[in-house]
Amino acid sequence: MVLSTGTNKIITAVFISGTGSNLKSLIKFSKFKKSPISIKLIITNNKLAKGLKYGKIFKIKKKIINFKNKEIAEKKIINELKRNKIELICLAGFMKIFSKNFIKNFKGKILNIHPSLLPKYKGLNTHQRAIENKDKYSGCTVHFVNSKLDSGKIILQKKVKILKKDTPDSLSKRILTQEHKLYPKAILKVFNL
């Protein structure tokens, strides 16, 4: 991807559904001089998402979108993205799936972080499935979003060893720590930095 705005930063929206720890790490990353992104908008489908607090703390605009009707929700999102001149979308624990049409509109401009070593364990309950299958490693992946779930081109992955005593919860915590490092690295890679 080429930096479209010269020396200015890429105007970015982060989508969340829950805790927002990846959002927090992306905001911190965005404050570094070497970061190519500036986060201007947080979008959520969940008005109770804990991560919304980072909007308040870091003075970033928030938008809550009701997903009862996906078509209407996506239209509202597209309007918000246009209004805020968003150039890059980072999904960070966003638990809704976009329509093919939405993704086509932003082809190559949507990134996602997923808590497994894709193509293994697309979808939900990744840690439980990796433990049940007695895998030696799990990890996390940052990838471009295409029209198939968790299937777009992989940007970066980080392996995490599964310990004998691991529960889905303990494994998820160790992987999350790596996610916070991996997402910024993947963004630097996308922009050839």
Cβ neighbors of 140 (< 8 A, separation 6 or more) are 113, 114, 115, 116, 117, 157, 158, 160, 175, 178, 179, 182
| Phi, psi of 152, rounded to the nearest 5 degrees | -70, 170
Contact stretch for ligand GAR (CB under 6 A) within 7-15, 74-82, 111-119, 162-170: 111-119
Under the criterion CB under 6 A, does residue 179 sit at the interface with ligand GAR?
yes
Place of tokens 């996308």: 190
Residue that the structure tokens 């996602």 belong to: 112
Closest residue to ligand GAR using C-beta atoms: 93
Whether 127 is catalytic is: no
Asked whether 168 and 131 are in contact (CB, 8 A), the reply is: yes
Beta bridge partners of 76: none
| Annotated catalytic residue, options 114, 127, 143, 180 | 114
Contact residue for ligand GAR among 13, 14, 15, 22 (CB under 6 A)? 22
Output 50 or 83, the one with its CB closest to ligand GAR.
50
139 is a contact residue toward ligand GAR (CB under 6 A) = no
Q: Which is nearer to ligand GAR, 162 or 176 (CB)?
A: 176
Q: Catalytic residue positions?
A: 114
Q: Which parts of this chain interact with ligand GAR (CB under 6 A)? A: 16, 18-22, 51, 92-93, 113-115, 176, 179
